[in-house]
Structure 1
Amino acid sequence: MKYTLNQLQIFVAVAQTKSITKASEELNLTQPAVSIQIKNFQSQFDLPLIEILGKKVYLTDFGKEIAISAQEIIDQVNAINDKMKAFKGQLFGRLKISIVSTGKYVIPYFLSGFLKENPGVELSMDVSNRGKVIESLEKNEVDFSLVSIPIDGNNYEYMELLNNELYLVGNPELLSQNPGFNQKQLPSNLPFIFRESGSGTRKTMEYFLKNQEIQITKKIELMSNEAVKQAVIAGLGYSIMPIIGIKNEIQNGSLVIIPHQGLPITTQWKLVWNLNKKHSPVSEAFLQFVAQNKELISKKYFS
């Protein structure tokens, strides 16, 4: 076996993006260069690592195992480099975070000061729905995740950051057409707009509707908070949304909060990590930074 660290890095990028094109963009290489290195890497194994159907790359079972081992080797090499730099009094390395989609309105404010203080730290952040965020934690692929609802089980530790409030919102013109809201049933002439299954916001909404015995006669399901927001602004229906993602729309009048029994729903934005996780110097430093600055950040940006 004569594979190189560069080949391992390229193979991992292809495995993660499932695309030669996306991997080449991520690595700042040409597509032919990535293809050649993957071919050279594959030539050192008797079993196939990937299958290419159309433009999409699929890992074989053997390829998935090699991708895991390759990532572990890369992590070890990075750790060696980080330790060398740490002896020089510098903080270097990569901070890996997965966040639920609404978390994009929260986490940048907790990262900004830390990254400015530590220019040698690289950030890798995946924005997805709650189900995939939990999966990344279970696989120990990230240092931290950001969620607004606690995860089932006792395998995690948490640090609370700030409140997450959800309100019933709608288009102001539609609200004027429906001045009276029945506390047990929303207007039946328009649908209620949900996030997709696996979303934390969806889970919160469903719990609220069940608890309040509210009947939904029509339903639309969309894949992101932004899509839900635009649909509500356009007058397609109503939804329950985190206030943190719609402040501008409330202020400019394109959305209005509809008073309703049991609202707002209040959850907590939490930084979460695996129980007994061995933090890297970078993740340990970030945890300390957040603990020391979270109240100031919350007051400055979210009061």
Structure 2
Amino acid sequence: MYYTLHQLQIFLKISELQSITKASEELHLTQPAVSIQLKNFQEQFPIPLTEVVGRRLYVTDFGKEIAQAAKKIITQVEEINYRTLAYQGNLSGKLKVSVVSTGKYVMPYFMSDFMTENKGVELVMDVTNKSKVLRSLERNEVDFALVSILPEKMNVHTVELMSNKLYYVSNYNRKLPKSFSRKYLFEKTPLIYREPGSATRSAMEGFIEKHNYSVHKKMELTSNEAVKQAVISGLGCSIMPLIGNKNALKNHELKIIPVRGLPITTTWNLIWLKSKNLSPVAVAFLDYLKERKNDIIQREFSWINDFNNV
């Protein structure tokens, strides 16, 4: 047998995602290239690794055993690389972070210099909704999670990064009555929601329920970016985090509608399980945040102060 490490990596990803298309997207390869590598890998085994039923790909029981072995081999190869770097006096290893979708506008700025200064550190950052972020943390699949609302039923340590403010926003050219009420904004104007499980949606629903508004027209979209584009296009309005909307506000694509009781203010927190044995890389990252956090906020997010009086 002459299978390569590259083939093992591809087959492992296919087995994890149960899809050649999804595997090619995650690996940044073309679908034909992934299919060819799977075919070449399969030819080295007398037993099928995968099967297609109803146009859907499944990994056979034998394939699952090979995938487990592939994972062990890949982990050992990574360990060799990390040990080599450590022997040379360089910090090395993986740093795994799960981030709620809006956090993609925050977390990279707190990691950029750390990654630049530590070439031996490999970053794995998953951006998804709050429910999946907390599930990854609970299953010990990641070192840290970034959330704006702390979990109630998990024992975690926290590091506060910065505030998160949510405003009522509309298309810049939306015409409103000269005199309008909060009730008009929520009951007469179409509202655009994030999907269930999103912290932004929870905050928005909490505000609406607190004031007993009856929303008659609403849409649901699955990412903050999709909500932003829908609001810009004029489909409706929404309560959205200020972070991530800087350019749209600056370019007069969006505008903030002042509403009594808004903004809703939460805090971006980096959290990790109290039972977690942090790796040297994770500990080094916490030390880095302790030293650099305030400088990063001042350098990258001082523009937020421009909206404090809205």
For normalisation by structure 1, the TM-score amounts to: 0.85
SS, match of residue 177 in structure 1: coil
Q: Deviations along 1:8-40, whole A, 9 cap, x unmatched?
A: 433322133433245356175823442135525
Letter of the aligned partner of 2:244 in structure 1?
G
In the alignment, what sits opposite 1:16?
Answer: 16
Displacement after TM superposition at 1:262 (Å)? 1.4
SS, match of residue 185 in structure 2: coil
In the alignment, what sits opposite 2:42?
Answer: 39
In the alignment, what sits opposite 2:152?
Answer: 152
In the alignment, what sits opposite 2:122?
Answer: 122
Displacement after TM superposition at 1:125 (Å)? 1.8
Letter of the aligned partner of 1:146 in structure 2?
L
SS, match of residue 214 in structure 1: coil
User: Alignment RMSD, CA only?
Assistant: 2.9
Worse-matched range after superposition: 224-233 or 56-65: 56-65
Q: Deviations along 1:213-267, whole A, 9 cap, x unmatched?
A: 2221111111111111111112211100000111222222221111112110011
Displacement after TM superposition at 1:43 (Å)? 4.5
Q: 1:1-303 residue pairs with structure 2 within 5 A?
A: 8-24=8-24, 26=27, 30-36=33-39, 38-39=41-42, 43=46, 50-53=50-53, 56-59=56-59, 67=67, 70-71=70-71, 74-174=74-174, 176-186=175-185, 188-303=187-302
Displacement after TM superposition at 1:75 (Å)? 3.0
Q: Is the 8 A contact 1:101 1:127 kept in 2?
A: yes
SS, match of residue 244 in structure 1: coil
Letter of the aligned partner of 1:88 in structure 2?
Q
Gaps of 5+ in 1: none
SS, match of residue 182 in structure 2: coil
Query: What is the identity percentage for the equivalent residue pairs of Structure 1 and Structure 2?
Result: 51
For normalisation by structure 2, the TM-score amounts to: 0.83
Q: Is the 8 A contact 2:3 2:41 kept in 1?
A: no
How many residue pairs get aligned? The number is 299
Displacement after TM superposition at 1:81 (Å)? 3.2
Displacement after TM superposition at 1:271 (Å)? 1.3
Gaps of 5+ in 2: 303-310
* CA distance in structure 1 between the partners assigned to 2:178 and 2:46 by the alignment: 69
Displacement after TM superposition at 1:95 (Å)? 2.1
SS, match of residue 259 in structure 1: coil
* CA distance in structure 2 between the partners assigned to 1:52 and 1:20 by the alignment: 11
Q: Deviations along 1:125-176, whole A, 9 cap, x unmatched?
A: 22211122222222322222211111231332221110000001112332x3
In structure 2, the CA distance between the partners of 1:188 and 1:211, relative to structure 1 (3 Å rule), is closer
Displacement after TM superposition at 1:206 (Å)? 1.1
Worse-matched range after superposition: 144-153 or 232-241: 144-153
Q: Deviations along 1:181-235, whole A, 9 cap, x unmatched?
A: 3234535443111011121211111112112222211111111111111111122
SS, match of residue 198 in structure 1: coil
SS, match of residue 186 in structure 1: helix
Q: Is the 8 A contact 1:148 1:164 kept in 2?
A: yes
Q: Is the 8 A contact 1:165 1:264 kept in 2?
A: yes
SS, match of residue 295 in structure 1: helix
Q: Is the 8 A contact 2:82 2:120 kept in 1?
A: no
In structure 2, the CA distance between the partners of 1:97 and 1:50, relative to structure 1 (3 Å rule), is farther
Worse-matched range after superposition: 271-280 or 25-34: 25-34
Displacement after TM superposition at 1:296 (Å)? 0.9
Letter of the aligned partner of 2:230 in structure 1?
A
Letter of the aligned partner of 2:152 in structure 1?
D
Letter of the aligned partner of 1:173 in structure 2?
N
In structure 2, the CA distance between the partners of 1:27 and 1:300, relative to structure 1 (3 Å rule), is closer
In structure 2, the CA distance between the partners of 1:16 and 1:125, relative to structure 1 (3 Å rule), is farther
SS, match of residue 235 in structure 2: coil
